[in-house]
Structure 1
Amino acid sequence: MANKEDILIRFGRRVRELRAERGYSQEAFAHECELDRTYVGGIERGERNLALRNIERIAETLGVTLAELMKGL
């Protein structure tokens, strides 16, 4: 289970980093992804295990490929 938690935390950190680089507030980013702000907060804290569809939404909103989103994880 530790590995699953680790990847969730690393993914959340990556999403937060890319979101901030693009100047999105968490609320504006959630709106653009069509996700709830509290859900995005949970992602960034490593508390959510995302569905692939939501990962794709996040990548599209950030303007990166899935590979770029996962880079360094």
Structure 2
Amino acid sequence: MEVRARIGWNVRRLRVERELSQDDLAYNAGIERAYVGHLERGTKNPTLDTLEKLSKALGTDIADLFIKPPEGAELLRPLKPGRKIS
């Protein structure tokens, strides 16, 4: 798995674990929602500054974005549709 895909897998894993929508994560990190989607799909190459913003918004260490997925790990299921009301 290439590094962009690994980062994308971890961003999505952490976001879903925290029950955050892409909109919520993007807002909390101060980045565009569409960019979060690109990162999760591994189609964009994030800067270190962006990774730092994401890790802070996810309440985790930046190193957690580089964790190797377990052997045979699949993509996580989407959250339920609709906006989460805080």
- Fold conserved between structures, TM > 0.5: yes
Q: Distance in 2 between matches of 1:17 and 1:68?
A: 10
State percent identity of aligned pairs: 36
* Matching of residue 67 in structure 1 with residue 63 in structure 2: yes
Amino acid at match of 1:16: R
Larger CA Rg, structure 1 vs 2: 2
Q: TM-score, normalised by structure 2?
A: 0.74
8 Å CA contact 2:10, 2:64 repeated in 1: no
Are 1:40 and 2:36 counterparts? yes
In the TM superposition, what is the alpha-carbon distance from 1:66 to its structure 2 partner? 1.4
Which amino acid in the other structure matches residue 61 of structure 2?
Answer: T
Q: RMSD of the TM alignment (CA)? A: 1.4
Distance in 2 of aligned mates of 1:66 and 1:28? 19
Match of 1:28 in 2: 24
Alpha-carbon distance in 1 for matches of 2:4, 2:63: 16
Structure 1 regions of 5+ residues with no counterpart?
none
User: What code does the residue aligned with 2:3 have?
Assistant: I
Q: Quick one: which amino acid aligns to residue 45 of structure 1?
A: R
Q: Number of paired residues?
A: 69
> How far has the Cα of 1:72 moved from its partner?
2.1
Deviation >4 Å, runs of 4+: none
Q: 2-side partners of 1:69 and 1:7: how far apart?
A: 10
Name the structure where helix makes up a greater proportion of residues.
Answer: 1
